[in-house]
Amino acid sequence: MIPFSPPKIYQEIIDEVADTLKSGWITTGPKTKLLEQKIEEYIGALKVLCVNSATAGLELMLRWYGVKEGDEVIIPAYTYCATANVVRHCGATPVMVDVNEHDFNINIEKIKHAITSKTKAIIPVDFAGFPADYDEIMQLVKSEQIKQHFVPENENQHKLNRIFVLSDAAHSFGANYKKQKTGTLCDATVFSFHAVKNFTTAEGGAIALNLPQPFANTEIYKYLNIISLHGQSKDALAKTQAGAWQYDVIEAGYKANMTDILASLGLVEIKYYEKETLPKRKAIFRFYTEKLNEQQWATLPPYETETKESSYHLYPLRIKGISEQQRNAIIKQIAENGVSVNVHFQPLPLLSYYKNLGYNIEDYPVAYKNYAHEISLPVYYDLTNEQMQKVIDTVIDVVNNVLKNA
Ligand SMILES: *Cc1c(COP(=O)(O)O)cnc(C)c1O
């Protein structure tokens, strides 16, 4: 069976993790802080805080902006549940909008119509690693016409004086937008380093800060660092200094810190990410695209345009003109032939919790159509040429077969 996205675990990673275990420093410490610096250098962000998941990072940032009950946060209907769940955790209302047909990303016109005086934040998602339309989103929130409806309710909201743009870049670590990396394109960006993502620390994530003047990103970093560990004024590292046992608690903070065991994986991966990991993933995308281009029924994902380059996280193939049932039958047959594929994502209004809150999939026709036609193909570093060929042969055979018998 060709798996869908196994992690790449090699000796250097095992050695680095073992080194951490032997050092006796297994929670947040020097390796986590070093990984933060490496990520800052790599993406060119002002300040990066590592956390234990993207979910925690997104929630921390919404809380930092004071998002609460009665507020609205605009998100795409086509995403993983985490994007909406964190809004619910804050007691606010996720306002779901439909997506673009061509790239699955949040639609700008739909955002415009969803903005109200209760809107406090927008969370664009870089689906499959392909960046959303950041310039258009930033222009929109900065326009006088939109800004005049914004109702600031706390210090940070007064300072920014507009809708906060928080990117869910769980898929797009290393992606480019107009020659800049994700993490530098809006107010704050959150990456996921979960096991199935491009860059993994098993579980983990990072917040990249890029707030405009008069915000001081270093000060916000320090604050978030404290809030990600119970609001404790000193972390474990600071407390190791001789005699420095005493600390204060400034707020009822969260428990979202990354550990050095996890950071060890990241420190090795970041060495190879730009030069080996991304080129390999790109080669897989190119191979699939070349082979599937000839198929009349195939809609292929964008991954490299004049202004954007994907991080090649997911390869969302779409089959034209099929029903959801036919798509499911195709997936079943592909699996029976030894290839694991997947679907990204079930639009949120299809999930019980959100359906029961009153979200209706009929309000998101593009999201539904993209979902019903979608099959994600395996993309990972250790995928061999033979396996890539087998994926293509199997997909083409099965789809032709299903279409013929339709
Ligand atoms: C994986 C994922 C997340 C959550 O990441 P965690 O690190 O597991 O919290 C959030 N948003 C999207 C779009 C994802 O795919």
Query: Token digits for 137?
Result: 């989103």
| 238: confidence class by pLDDT, cuts 50, 70, 90 | confident
For residues 235 and 131, state if they share a domain. Answer: yes
On whether residue 5 sits in a domain, the answer given is: no
User: From start to end of 295-371, where are the E strands?
Assistant: 298-299, 308-309, 315-319
For the segment 104-114, what is each residue's pLDDT rounded down to a tens digit? 999 999 999 99
- Nearest atom in ligand 1 to the alpha carbon of residue 79 is 13
On whether residue 2 sits in a domain, the answer given is: no
On whether residue 6 sits in a domain, the answer given is: no
For the Cβ of 292 lying below 6 angstroms from any atom of ligand 1, the answer is: no
What's the Rg (C-alpha) of the chain?
A: 22
For residues 243 and 110, state if they share a domain. Answer: yes
For the Cβ of 52 lying below 6 angstroms from any atom of ligand 1, the answer is: no
For residues 97 and 189, state if they share a domain. Answer: yes
Comparing C-alpha atoms, which of 275, 39, 88, 73 is closest to residue 166? Answer: 73
On whether residue 104 sits in a domain, the answer given is: yes
Question: Which of 264, 285, 302 is the C-terminal boundary of a domain?
Answer: 264
Match 């086509």 to its residue by tokens.
Answer: 78
| 234: confidence class by pLDDT, cuts 50, 70, 90 | confident
The answer to whether 27 and 262 have CB atoms below 8 angstroms apart is no
Choosing from 4, 55, 61, 311 the residue with most ligand 1 atoms within 8 A of its CB, the one to mutate for a pocket test is 55
On whether residue 85 sits in a domain, the answer given is: yes
The torsion angles phi and psi of 128, rounded to 5 degrees, stand at 65, 5
Question: Which of 264, 284, 299 is the C-terminal boundary of a domain?
Answer: 264
For the segment 22-73, what is each residue's pLDDT rounded down to a tens digit? 999 999 999 999 999 999 999 999 999 999 999 999 999 999 999 999 999 9
What total number of domains does the chain contain? 2
Q: Give pLDDT, residue 236.
A: 73
pLDDT of 80 strictly over 80? yes
Q: Give pLDDT, residue 167.
A: 99
For residues 358 and 244, state if they share a domain. Answer: no
For the segment 117-129, what is each residue's pLDDT rounded down to a tens digit? 999 999 999 999 9
Ligand 1 centroid, distance to 73 Cα (angstroms): 17
On whether residue 4 sits in a domain, the answer given is: no
On whether residue 192 sits in a domain, the answer given is: yes
Question: Which of 204, 234, 264 is the C-terminal boundary of a domain?
Answer: 264
Q: Give pLDDT, residue 235.
A: 76
What does the alpha-carbon distance between residue 38 and residue 193 come to, in Å, rounded to a whole number?
15
Ligand 1 centroid, distance to 55 Cα (angstroms): 6
Query: Token digits for 51?
Result: 């956390």
Relative to beta strand 188-192, strand 164-168 is parallel
For residues 83 and 216, state if they share a domain. Answer: yes
How does DSSP assign 44-104, residue by residue?
Answer: T-SEEEEES-HHHHHHHHHHHTT--TT-EEEEESSS-THHHHHHHHTT-EEEEE-B-TTT-
Decide: pTM greater than 0.95. Answer: yes
Q: What is the CATH number of the domain that holds 355?
A: 3.90.1150.10
For residues 83 and 226, state if they share a domain. Answer: yes
Match 């339709």 to its residue by tokens.
Answer: 406
Q: What is the CATH number of the domain that holds 164?
A: 3.40.640.10
For residues 91 and 209, state if they share a domain. Answer: yes
For residues 239 and 280, state if they share a domain. Answer: no
For residues 254 and 314, state if they share a domain. Answer: no
The answer to whether 206 and 39 have CB atoms below 8 angstroms apart is yes
Query: Token digits for 110?
Result: 């739909």
On whether residue 61 sits in a domain, the answer given is: yes
Query: Token digits for 242?
Result: 């001789």
For the Cβ of 54 lying below 6 angstroms from any atom of ligand 1, the answer is: yes
Ligand 1 centroid, distance to 39 Cα (angstroms): 18
For residues 220 and 278, state if they share a domain. Answer: no
Match 């790239």 to its residue by tokens.
Answer: 103
For the Cβ of 264 lying below 6 angstroms from any atom of ligand 1, the answer is: no
What is the enclosing helix (H) or strand (E) of 17?
helix 11-23
For residues 297 and 364, state if they share a domain. Answer: yes
For the Cβ of 206 lying below 6 angstroms from any atom of ligand 1, the answer is: no
For the Cβ of 229 lying below 6 angstroms from any atom of ligand 1, the answer is: no
Domain range for 277 is: 273-404
pLDDT of 179 strictly over 90? yes
- Nearest atom in ligand 1 to the alpha carbon of residue 344 is 15
> Is the preceding peptide bond at 345 cis, omega within 30 degrees of 0?
yes
Choosing from 60, 79, 80 the residue with most ligand 1 atoms within 8 A of its CB, the one to mutate for a pocket test is 80
The answer to whether 308 and 388 have CB atoms below 8 angstroms apart is no
For the segment 303-340, what is each residue's pLDDT rounded down to a tens digit? 999 999 999 999 999 999 999 999 999 999 999 999 99
For residues 125 and 161, state if they share a domain. Answer: yes
- Half-sphere exposure of residue 3: CA atoms within 13 angstroms, side-chain side: 8
- Nearest atom in ligand 1 to the alpha carbon of residue 55 is 9
For the segment 340-397, what is each residue's pLDDT rounded down to a tens digit? 999 999 999 999 999 999 999 999 999 999 999 999 999 999 999 999 999 999 999 9
